[in-house]
């Protein structure tokens, strides 16, 4: 019989961010549903089987080591979605924008949706969406933004769900009328 799932593409999510923002911890927290005390520099690529994802598509999650050179990002341009991470305590446009611009320049031809992620929200007193939102509003390439914590597992599964959605049901710049002309 025909499996509907085979008609859908896989989702590949790449986590990018400055060193130590928590990329590897986030992946490990998702997988083990608990915060790992120690993590390797880079997590092995993981695949979440279709039947346990909300959108029913196989989802691959790829860690990007902050110690890699920027050029190795080129190798990852077959990604379906890029999650750009920052650490909430240090989050500011000044820290984030150079990284974001690098990612945008590298991916400008590939129309890969971006998600902006503020990790370590457990370390800040109140919501830092006022830091993230203005950055998101400035860059139409950013599909959505989310505040999370690998430590207390806040918004971890949601983050990967938003990433799936950004790939499978893109909105905004990917389908903007200007682009179709």
By CB under 6 A, tell whether 146 contacts ligand GTP. no
Report the nearest approach of ligand GTP to the CB of residue 89 (Å).
Answer: 9
Neighbours of 57 (CB within 10 A): 18
Which is nearer to Mg ion, 25 or 131 (by Cβ)?
A: 25
Strands 81-87 and 114-119: parallel
Give me the helices (H) in the chain, please: 23-32, 93-107, 129-138, 156-168, 177-180
22 binds, among ligand GTP, Mg ion, none (CB under 5 to 8 A by kind): ligand GTP
- Residue of 11, 12, 14, 22 that binds ligand GTP (CB under 6 A): 22
Of all residues in this chain, which one has the CB nearest to ligand GTP in the complex? 66
Touching ligand GTP, residues 25-44 (CB under 6 A): 25, 39, 41
The C-alpha atoms of residue 24 and residue 28 are separated, in whole angstroms, by 6
Residues pairing with 85 in the sheet: 17, 117
Which is nearer to Mg ion, 14 or 57 (by Cβ)?
A: 14
Report the nearest approach of Mg ion to the CB of residue 62 (Å).
Answer: 11
The C-alpha atoms of residue 28 and residue 48 are separated, in whole angstroms, by 13
Report the nearest approach of Mg ion to the CB of residue 41 (Å).
Answer: 5
156: Cβ contacts below 8 Å, ≥ 6 apart: 26, 29, 30, 148, 149, 150
Contact residues for ligand GTP, defined by CB under 6 A: 17, 19-25, 39, 41, 65-66, 119-120, 122-123, 149-151
């Amino acid at each position: 019989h025909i499996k509907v799932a085979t008609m859908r593409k896989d989702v590949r999510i790449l986590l990018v961010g400055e060193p130590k923002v928590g990329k590897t911890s986030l992946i490990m927290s998702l997988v083990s549903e608990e915060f790992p005390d120690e993590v390797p520099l880079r997590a092995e690529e993981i695949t979440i089987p279709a039947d346990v994802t909300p959108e029913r598509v196989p989802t691959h999650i790829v860690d990007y080591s902050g110690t890699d050179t920027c050029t190795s990002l080129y190798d990852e341009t077959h990604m379906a979605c890029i999650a750009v991470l920052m650490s909430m305590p240090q989050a500011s446009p000044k820290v984030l924008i150079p990284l974001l611009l690098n990612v945008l320049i590298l991916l400008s031809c590939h129309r890969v949706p971006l998600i902006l992620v503020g990790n370590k929200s457990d370390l800040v007193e109140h919501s830092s969406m006022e830091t993230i939102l203005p950055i998101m509003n400035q860059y139409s390439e950013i599909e959505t933004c989310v505040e999370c914590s690998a430590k207390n597992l806040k918004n971890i599964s949601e983050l990967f769900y938003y990433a799936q959605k950004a790939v499978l049901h893109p909105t905004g710049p990917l389908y903007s009328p200007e682009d179709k002309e």
